[in-house]
Every structure is written in structure tokens, then in C-alpha cells.
């Protein structure tokens, strides 16, 4: 089915210099509406514009809202490359199921994304380390009060040319273990990318930032002992030669970058284990010198090395505050595959 397309008559001026993250948006957006009994209808690509929503729209009151994050990359020959896009749309459906929202056809969403990028292809930046960030979003659009599932939804995709997620690029960040707040609980929405998960993290993150902390390390909500995530990323530790990451338990986002990192480590001879990891184990490893690396994984930053950690037991530096060999291997390999500099043996890449 052909997508109805309305091209903008007033193209935006493309940004020059530093892009930052999520500051600029392309000329067009993809949209698809859901109506109970009719399914997904009114598929279109139209000029990027504000949404007109009634003050009683259910998304504002009951938070049926979720999103995804992925990127398009400009290859060495000028081609545009996507990294595991079907996995992101599949994860969106997992989030939608938990939130009582409708499933979207993965191939339809992917086709819409590809057509949108083709139209706005000039916005995919060429500079080293830059990319086009992709934000698929689904929100409840019924205009009514009363706690229930909406009977109408809007799915849309917007695009944003971006640079590094962190101002200092790959410079190792400083973490602090969050002792007061928790991120998720068993049976909750921790494994989804629903907006509420991120909204609940804003206050503690702001408090940490004022104290000179870049990201928070979240512990489980029951024992306040086991590590779950760091900020908006999955977390990895190198302990006595073993690469360890918390096992997915329903409270941790199943990151696409995390899954890719695990596969690369297994296939390249690293001892990689997914299991429960206690903060006590990490502190002990820092004290006896067996903790040699810590890093986060996620779409926005790809690999984010950690140089310092603050815990109740005190502060400690990891690997002299420098990026370690495991995180460098993953960063070079993942970004190499994404930009087309390294052979993709896994079929992760889709060229538009």
C-alpha cells in the first residue's frame, strides 16, 4: 500500500557545527492512527508539525505512552545504514503489550521508516561520529477521563540529526549508586520503554547532576542489593577477566545494543556471563583490584565507559579513569558495523 505523502513547502535550514543530541528535527514525520474496530488507518508522511491534542487526551492523564530509539548512519560510500531496526520495532510491540496498547505490524512500520528517511535523506549527517536519531512513538489519543485502555492511538516517527550523546564523547563518566529511589519492580514496566519509567528517573538524575554525577546506577527495589541498569543504559563489568552483565529479569530493558555486545563478546572468545550482580561484589572487586572495567551500552551512546563510581563504601576509580580494552573493542566493532567499516557477519545492517 502506497503511503500518502505531503512534502513540505518550507524546508528547514539544516544545522551547522555541533549537533548535540535531540535538538534539531527533520522536515517530515511518519504518522499512523489506530481506531478500535478499524485497526491502523490514515498512514501518511507529512511536514513535521505540532500535534493538536485535546486537554482530556488520555495520554496526559494515564500515561499510555511508549517509544523506541534507533539510528541511521551514513556509510563511507554515502549509503544510509540502519542497525537492527526490526528488533527495535519488535521491542516496541513488547512494550505495547505490557501497556495495554495495540501491536503494530513490524514490516509496515519499517517500510514507513525507510520511506521517511528516503524523503529526508539529506538530513543524515556525514561528519565522523554523527548519525540520524530515530524516535518511533505511540500514544493514547481518546479524549476521556476514567482509567481504562484507550480505543484510539497515534503512532509516529520523528528524526533528529545528532552528535555524541555526551558532551565529552568517549571520556569515561562518573556513576553513583542510587540509594534513595528505585527504577522498577518485579511485575512492573521496567522492561518496557514507556514514558513513565523515564519520568520517574528525572528528579534523582537532576539531584545527581548537581552533585557532579553523570549517571545513576539503579539497584533492585526489594533487597536494594542487586544492580539493574545505569541511567538509560544497560551495564557491564569486567571482574577478574569475566565480563558480567545483570541478567534480564523483567525489571531491566532488553537493550538491542546490549544483545549485540553479548553476541560479539561470545563470538570473540570473551568469558561473558549474564547473572545477578550485587553492588557488594562490585565494591569488593574495586577494593581487591579485580574490577578492571565498567561500561554502559545503549543506542544513544553505543558504549559509555565508566571511570569513577561512588558507593556507600566510598569512591573509586576504574582503569585509571580511562576507557578499557573490552569497551574499546565493543565500541570499535559496533560502530564499525554500523558505519560499514567492519564486516557485518550477523546480518544486523539494513542498507537503504
Cell numbers 548537581: residue = 210
| pLDDT band at residue 171 using 50, 70 and 90 as cut-offs | confident
Query: Which pTM does this prediction carry?
Result: 0.95
Is a pLDDT exceeding 80 seen at residue 214? Answer: yes
125/226 Cα distance (integer angstroms) = 40
pLDDT digits (tens, 9 = 90+) for 91-115: 999 999 999 999 999 999 999 999 9
Is a pLDDT exceeding 80 seen at residue 217? Answer: yes
Residue of higher predicted confidence among 17 and 205: 205
Burial annotation 117-133 (CB, 10 A radius, 16+ → b, else e): bebbeebbbeeeebbbb
Say how many C-beta atoms besides its own lie within 10 A of residue 98's C-beta.
Answer: 15
What's the first-to-final CA gap in the chain, in angstroms?
19
73/82 Cα distance (integer angstroms) = 6
pLDDT at 168: 62
What phi and psi values does residue 140 have, to the nearest 5 degrees? -80, 135
What is the percent of the chain where pLDDT is above 70? 98
Which residue, among 70, 55, 54, 82, has the nearest Cα to 137 in the 3D structure?
70
pLDDT digits (tens, 9 = 90+) for 60-71: 999 999 999 999
Listing DSSP states for 118-185 in one string gives: HHTGGGS--STT-EEEEEEEEEE--B--SSS--SEEEEEEEEEEE--SSTTTTSPEEEEE-SS-----
What phi and psi values does residue 81 have, to the nearest 5 degrees? -125, 135
pLDDT at 166: 62
DSSP state of 319: G
Domains of the chain: 4-162 (3.30.470.10), 173-341 (3.20.10.10)
Give yes or no for a contact between 52 and 136, defined as CB atoms under 8 angstroms apart.
no
3 state DSSP class of 217: strand
Q: For the chain, give the mean pLDDT.
A: 94
117/99 Cα distance (integer angstroms) = 28
What phi and psi values does residue 92 have, to the nearest 5 degrees? -60, -40
Average pLDDT over residues 178-205: 92
Is a pLDDT exceeding 80 seen at residue 164? Answer: no
Average pLDDT over residues 300-317: 92
Paired strand residues for 174: 308
294/243 Cα distance (integer angstroms) = 9
Amino acid at each position: 500500500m502506497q503511503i500518502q505523502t505531503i512534502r513540505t513547502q518550507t524546508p528547514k535550514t539544516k544545522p551547522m557545527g555541533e549537533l548535540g543530541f535531540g535538538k534539531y528535527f527533520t522536515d517530515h514525520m511518519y504518522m499512523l492512527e489506530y481506531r478500535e474496530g478499524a485497526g491502523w488507518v490514515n498512514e501518511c508522511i507529512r511536514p513535521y508539525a505540532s500535534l493538536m491534542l485535546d486537554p482530556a487526551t488520555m495520554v496526559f492523564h494515564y500515561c499510555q505512552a511508549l517509544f523506541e530509539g534507533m539510528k541511521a548512519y551514513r556509510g563511507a560510500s554515502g549509503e544510509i545504514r540502519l542497525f537492527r531496526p526490526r528488533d527495535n520495532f519488535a521491542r516496541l510491540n513488547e512494550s505495547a503489550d505490557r501497556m495495554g496498547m495495540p501491536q503494530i505490524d513490524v514490516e509496515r512500520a519499517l517500510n514507513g521508516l525507510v520511506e521517511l528517511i528516503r524523503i529526508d535523506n539529506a538530513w543524515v549527517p556525514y561528519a565522523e561520529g554523527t548519525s540520524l536519531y530515530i524516535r518511533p512513538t505511540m500514544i493514547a489519543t481518546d479524549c476521556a477521563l476514567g482509567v481504562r485502555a484507550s480505543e484510539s492511538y497515534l503512532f509516529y516517527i520523528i528524526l533528529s540529526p545528532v552528535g555524541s550523546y555526551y558532551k565529552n564523547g568517549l571520556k569515561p563518566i562518573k556513576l553513583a549508586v542510587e540509594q534513595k529511589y528505585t527504577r522498577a519492580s518485579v511485575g512492573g514496566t521496567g522492561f518496557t520503554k514507556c514514558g513513565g519509567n523515564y519520568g520517574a528517573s528525572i528528579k534523582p538524575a537532576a539531584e545527581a547532576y548537581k552533585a557532579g554525577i553523570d549517571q545513576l546506577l539503579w539497584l533492585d527495589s526489594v533487597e536494594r542489593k542487586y544492580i539493574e541498569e545505569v541511567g538509560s543504559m544497560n551495564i557491564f563489568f569486567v571482574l577478574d577477566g569475566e565480563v558480567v552483565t545483570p541478567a534480564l529479569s523483567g525489571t531491566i530493558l532488553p537493550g538491542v545494543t546490549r544483545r549485540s555486545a553479548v553476541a560479539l563478546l561470545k563470538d570473540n572468545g570473551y568469558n561473558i556471563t549474564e547473572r545477578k550482580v550485587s553492588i557488594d561484589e562490585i565494591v569488593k572487586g574495586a577494593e581487591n583490584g579485580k574490577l578492571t572495567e565498567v561500561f554502559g551500552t545503549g543506542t544513544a551512546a553505543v558504549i559509555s565507559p565508566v571511570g569513577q563510581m561512588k558507593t556507600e563504601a566510598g569512591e573509586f576509580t576504574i582503569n585509571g579513569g580511562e576507557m578499557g580494552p573490552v569497551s574499546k573493542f565493543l565500541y570499535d566493532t559496533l560502530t564499525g558495523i554500523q558505519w560499514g567499516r567492519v564486516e557485518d557477519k550477523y546480518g544486523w545492517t539494513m542498507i537503504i
